[in-house]
Amino acid sequence: MATVRVNIPQQQTKEEDKYTFQTFKEEIKKKWTNKREVKQSERDLAQSFPKVLLALQCPSQLYLFLFYIIPRLFEDYTDETQICLQLFVCFCCVEGLLNYFLCLLTNSDVKPRSSSSKIKTFDDPHAHTNGHVPNGVTVSRDDGEMPWGFCDICDMDIPPRAHHCKICKKCILKRDHHCFMVGNCIGFYNQRYFFVLGFYAILCGLGAFACNAWYLYLFYWPTAYSWTSLFPPIAFYRWLFGYENIELHVLILIFQAYPQLFFGGFGCIVVNSQTLMCFLGKTAHELTSHIPIKNNNFFFTNFESVFGKHWLLNFIFPMTQCLKQPGDGTYWDGIKIDHVSNSDDKNKVVLNM
């Protein structure tokens, strides 16, 4: 296809630039690319806030459920039913904390390889690709097998689908994204815990919020001063100076309602996004960066690559040693480079008229 070029005077182009229309997506992208460098102290503060909030929320919420919410909301039920509900609440709390700490403490960083190890790379030794094919670079194999790349910052070879994290300051196997809620990069070895953490965040967040709201509606709302008492600062002020007779556990329940919605919303985002990633067999980084890869595996195989075999058992207990993941995050069977998508990007013709 021929390229048509028309020379336009420079003065005319400047006048037309004044009326250039930018879409909302282009404006956001421009602001994102020109954003200022975030300080390390701001990153540490952003990662510390969820941890402090979780440390305050977990023990207080568990205590109120065991000694106030379940005994009073289910007082018409048998003692055995109440005990089962209390055990279920403890189980969800323990599962959530286990997966949180496993996700926080499990690292998926790339270990340096020995110089004698054979790796598949691009023909161009200076093509630093982080495991995908950029425009203008050809692959030594035509079967679409994913090659190794090279990280300039870490100064080492990295396997396919591994990428460098500026926050963690290291390369991560099958990097999905950096999660400030967890304070760690989500990659090959801790993605399974991150998924399950989101599931229990929904139960302990939105489920607890529903019980919390039910309790406040039955035992506090009939005697409440006004609806403004449902805002924590106002409720605390009235409780502190005696303007309203609010019991201490009710005040704590009002404070807890908002973090419960926060964690529940976080769990919904995690479960929805990670379900999509597992179904497609890709990562969030690969989708947002438009890395041209093609997954030919069945979606059950994609789930097994994250959780291991019998992957549903991970939602009952973290199967770290029992159900190990297939592979080591360096070789990906059934995942190839999408040459069709890559060639389409290279062969786009821009007509300047």
Following DSSP, what letter does each residue of 237-248 receive, concatenated?
HHHHTTSS---H
CA dihedral 283, 289, 295, 298 (to 10 degrees): 40
Q: Show the tokens assigned to 120.
A: 């598949």
Q: What is the pLDDT, as a whole number, of residue 328? A: 84
Residue 180 in contact with residue 47, Cβ under 8 Å? yes
Q: What is the rounded CA–CA span in Å between residue 2 and residue 351?
A: 9
pLDDT at 13 > cutoff 80: no
Residue 269 in contact with residue 181, Cβ under 8 Å? no
pLDDT at 94 > cutoff 70: yes
Fill in the DSSP letter of residue 117.
S
Task: Give the range among 40-54, 118-132, 173-187 with minimum mean pLDDT.
Answer: 118-132
Residue 133 in contact with residue 142, Cβ under 8 Å? no
Q: What is the rounded CA–CA span in Å between residue 269 and residue 135?
A: 33
Q: What is the pLDDT, as a whole number, of residue 304? A: 87
Residue with tokens 């999660």: 179
Residue 337 in contact with residue 144, Cβ under 8 Å? yes
313-342 mean pLDDT: 78
226-241 mean pLDDT: 93
Following DSSP, what letter does each residue of 126-172 receive, concatenated?
T---TTS--TT---S-SS-BPPPEEETTTTEEE-TT-EEETTTTEEE
Helix (H) or strand (E) holding 178: strand 177-179
Instruction: State the chain's mean pLDDT as an integer.
Output: 80
Q: Among the ranges 10-14, 132-136, 237-241, which has the highest mean pLDDT value? A: 237-241
126-143 mean pLDDT: 42
> Can you name the residues that pair with 337 across neighbouring β-strands?
293
pTM of the model: 0.78
pLDDT at 263 > cutoff 60: yes
Q: Which residue, among 95, 96, 91, 99, has the nearest Cα to 65 in the 3D structure?
A: 91
**Long-range pairs for 271-280 at CB < 8 Å and ≥24 separation?**
271/195, 271/198, 271/199, 271/202, 274/191, 274/194, 274/195, 274/198, 275/195, 277/176, 278/195, 278/302, 278/303, 278/306
Q: What is the rounded CA–CA span in Å between residue 134 and residue 138?
A: 9
Residue 186 contacts by C-beta under 8 Å, 6 or more apart in sequence? 103, 108, 175, 176, 177, 178, 179, 194
Q: What is the rounded CA–CA span in Å between residue 339 and residue 212?
A: 53
Comparison of pLDDT for 118 and 176, the residue scoring more: 176
